[in-house]
């Protein structure tokens, strides 16, 4: 059965969303490994959320049945909403830093202090300061732009869910 253009539109949008998430993750890795910015624990959580959105969007884009598309877009909405919440919380911490910040431990301190089986999970929690703004673009920090990206992904997912649910 040949799919019409309108039947493939949600799948193309999901594939585009997965591609954008992969590009954002690649940019984050560029900032970490080339520019030398240390990700904080909240940045790592946002990366995990982007990975989950990319996986859900990519797998859902492969589906052709409407119920699968609706569930996938709904799941994408939940994960992107969680990512937006974490990014908004980090933005708030950057705008109104607390008196004492504690976002993670120093990388070398973790390796020297803890056994390897405890240090490796700590490494993936990040070690940077969540309130520190190391990089900006057009006046927005990485957390601000992350929130914008998650909000756009959430709107795309919400639009997909509502339009697919309304179709007969």
For residue 47, which phi and psi values (nearest 5 degrees)? Answer: -65, -45
**Residue 130 carries which DSSP code?**
T
The confidence band for 120, taking pLDDT boundaries of 50, 70 and 90, is low
The confidence band for 76, taking pLDDT boundaries of 50, 70 and 90, is very high
Mean predicted lDDT score pLDDT of the chain: 77
For residue 63, which phi and psi values (nearest 5 degrees)? Answer: -80, 150
- Backbone conformation region of residue 114, classed left if phi is above 0, alpha if psi is from -120 to 50, else beta: beta
The confidence band for 107, taking pLDDT boundaries of 50, 70 and 90, is very low
Kindly list the domain boundaries of the chain, sorted by start residue: 8-166
- Domain 8-166 adopts which CATH fold? Bromodomain-like (1.20.1550)
Task: Return d(Cα 18, Cα 60) in angstroms, integer.
Answer: 10
Res 95: pLDDT: 72
Which residue has better confidence, 112 or 11? 11
Tell whether the torsion through CA atoms of 131, 134, 139 and 144 is positive or negative: negative
CB neighbours of 133 closer than 8 A, spacing ≥ 6?
94, 141
Contact in structure between 76 and 60 (CB atoms under 8 Å): yes
- The answer to whether residue 62 scores a pLDDT higher than 50 is yes
Task: Return d(Cα 24, Cα 71) in angstroms, integer.
Answer: 24
């Amino acid at each position: 059965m040949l799919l019409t253009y309108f039947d493939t539109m949600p799948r193309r949008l999901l594939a585009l969303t997965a591609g954008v998430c992969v590009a954002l993750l690649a940019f984050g890795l560029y900032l970490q490994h080339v520019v030398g910015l240390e990700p904080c624990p909240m940045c790592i959580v946002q990366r995990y959320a982007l990975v989950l959105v990319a996986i859900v969007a990519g797998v859902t884009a492969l589906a052709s049945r409407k119920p699968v598309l609706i569930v996938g877009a709904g799941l994408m909405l939940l994960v992107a909403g969680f990512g937006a919440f974490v990014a908004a919380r980090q933005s708030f911490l950057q705008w109104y830093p607390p008196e004492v910040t504690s976002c993670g431990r120093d990388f070398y301190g973790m390796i020297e202090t803890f056994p390897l089986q405890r240090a490796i999970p700590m490494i993936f929690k990040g070690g940077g300061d969540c309130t520190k703004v190391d990089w900006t673009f057009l006046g927005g920090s990485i957390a601000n732009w992350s929130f914008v990206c998650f909000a756009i992904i959430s709107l795309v997912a919400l639009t997909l869910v509502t339009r697919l649910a309304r179709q007969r």
